[in-house]
Structure 1
Amino acid sequence: MAQETKIWETDFIDEFENFNSENWQDQRIWVNNEKQTYVPNGKYETREVSNGTLKLKVVDLGEPIESDNLDKHGAKHPATPYAAGRICSKNKKEFIKGKWTARLRISDQGVAGMFPAWWILGAQNNEAPVQEKDENVCWPLTGSGEIDIFEHHGDYMDKAFTTGAIVSLGECDKGDWESKRRNFPADLTEFHTYSVEWEGSDLVYRLDDKEVYRNEGEGDKYPEPMFAILNFAKISDAPMTEQWVMEVDWVKHERRL
């Protein structure tokens, strides 16, 4: 009997037995007019690794705290009562094409203001932390392209997530968020795997290993190394009644043999 050909080889996996600083770093940045401030080192219980999973949280502290988060133009986030966790693999684990997958769930869904995401970004992105001299490319130009693998906007959807590529319009800060992204149903409070893979010139998006969407011909527009981001944001002033949690079982990257 012929042996089945191995298609993928795992070249990175983090199963979150601990927080591994060789894989991840905190990312403190102000984007999308988000209402929370990202804090380092799990301060205010915004990041926790326990029982084999990573938990990233949005926490209502009750009173405003000062923020050191800056946008790309140097503007400082105003004081806010909301703190959250955001990590990235920038300058730690970056890969060209292949396949990125995470297994995750969120504590609730369809709640106004919640905005958790699992996504990848070009490694020459010029947003914090800027640590290498070639990190000078403005989003979403080549070198700083964005692919959203999982995103949930609680103001606009309930049991559903968004997946797809951001189309560069050829200018700094000019991106098309609509034409290549779609929404798909899922119970987000249950664990699922969410992935994107390069298949020829296409980007293929899978939920629990089943293809749900395809960006035909878009894969060639992302030739650069890309890093992973996991974050939970608060996108509006809607009140919170409890912590929001994104629980991540594992993240991996595979390369095609």
Structure 2
Amino acid sequence: MTQPVFADDFDASALDLSVWSPYYLPQWSSRSASAATYGLADSCLTLSIPVEQGIWCAGSHKPDLRVSGIQSGNYSGPVGSTVGQQPYRDGLLVQEEQEPFWGWTADGGYVELRARADIAPGSMVSLWMVGLEDQPDRCGEICVMEVFGDAVVPGESAAVGMGLKTIRDPVVPQDFEAVRLPIDVREFHTYAVEWSGGTATFSVDGTAIRSCQGAPTYPMQLMLAVFDFPEQSGRDHVPTFTVDHVRHRVR
């Protein structure tokens, strides 16, 4: 039987800042330029990208990207260094130093998200876990779910990405697949991974979909975000990602 070791049901009137940082990789821009747009109501967290939200890392990240995300850990080296989590290209320099923050990390167990999404072509949502990068090679990824708006047939099906991503960890295999499932992502669904001993088994609504070998065995933080690519979306649609809960259990 599993026992909860972490759960956020988003029942409070404010985001728990002891667990979550509401900035997306702020070391590559700044906290002010990477702040998420979000709200809490009806026991849910809703991340959104309104029309007026600016480009993330404008002029540096290609393609243009807008994002509202929260993450359960973060740190960087000093300004001008290359030390920081998830650099999107070689030689990227820290623009704003981030103090170490570890709100919630895990090195195995069962991680579950219950959420729904309103996305269109040019936007996407994802829940993924990444190594803390306290050592450079500890950067592999376990992607619990990833859905692009152009892979959704409204009311019928969606291609749900899940699996492992090497990133820059030579030990973690690239084993990622978008599996088409008969679900409507506008409705709540439960996306989860059971992760132990280098094996990661992914499920949707309690049904196992695929299993991967070679998952990271080091501590990982959680990343949760909605993205918009304005060159594709034209900013006519406001994508949202509404999260009912995030939970973690160990055997």
- The answer to whether 1:240 aligns with 2:235 is yes
Distance 1:253 1:57 in 2: 24
Q: Residues 24, 170 of structure 1: CA spacing in aligned structure 2 closer, same or farther, 3 A cutoff?
A: closer
Structure 1 residues 8-40: Cα deviation after superposition (integer angstroms, max 9, x where no partner) = 11100000023101110023338xxxxxx9632
Distance 2:244 2:104 in 1: 18
The equivalent position to 2:223 in structure 1, one of 207, 215, 229, is 229
What pairs with 1:6-85 in structure 2 (closer than 5 Å)?
Answer: 6=1, 8-18=2-12, 19-29=15-25, 39-40=34-35, 42=36, 46-61=37-52, 65=54, 69=57, 76=60, 83-85=66-68
| 8 Å CA contact 2:128, 2:143 repeated in 1 | yes
| 8 Å CA contact 1:122, 1:224 repeated in 2 | yes
Q: Percent identity?
A: 21
Q: Residues 51, 76 of structure 1: CA spacing in aligned structure 2 closer, same or farther, 3 A cutoff?
A: same
Distance 2:55 2:199 in 1: 44
For 2:145, the equivalent position in structure 1 comes to: 150
SS at match of 1:237: helix
Structure 1 residues 131-181: Cα deviation after superposition (integer angstroms, max 9, x where no partner) = xxxx352xxx3x11101111012234433211111135756xxx975x432
SS at match of 1:243: coil
| 8 Å CA contact 1:169, 1:176 repeated in 2 | no
Distance 1:156 1:244 in 2: 15
| 8 Å CA contact 2:108, 2:196 repeated in 1 | no
Shift in Å, 1:218:
2.1
| 8 Å CA contact 1:118, 1:228 repeated in 2 | yes
Structure 1 ranges of 4+ moved more than 4 A: 64-67, 75-78, 168-171
SS at match of 1:155: helix
SS at match of 2:18: coil
Distance 2:60 2:198 in 1: 40
Distance 1:38 1:166 in 2: 27
Distance 1:112 1:11 in 2: 37
Distance 2:210 2:25 in 1: 30
Q: Which amino acid letter does the alignment assign opposite residue 58 of structure 1?
A: I
Aligned length in residues: 210
For 1:164, the equivalent position in structure 2 comes to: 163
Distance 1:241 1:198 in 2: 39
Aligned-CA RMSD value = 3.0
For 1:211, the equivalent position in structure 2 comes to: 208
Q: Residues 21, 236 of structure 1: CA spacing in aligned structure 2 closer, same or farther, 3 A cutoff?
A: same
| 8 Å CA contact 1:166, 1:181 repeated in 2 | no
Q: Which amino acid letter does the alignment assign opposite residue 16 of structure 1?
A: F
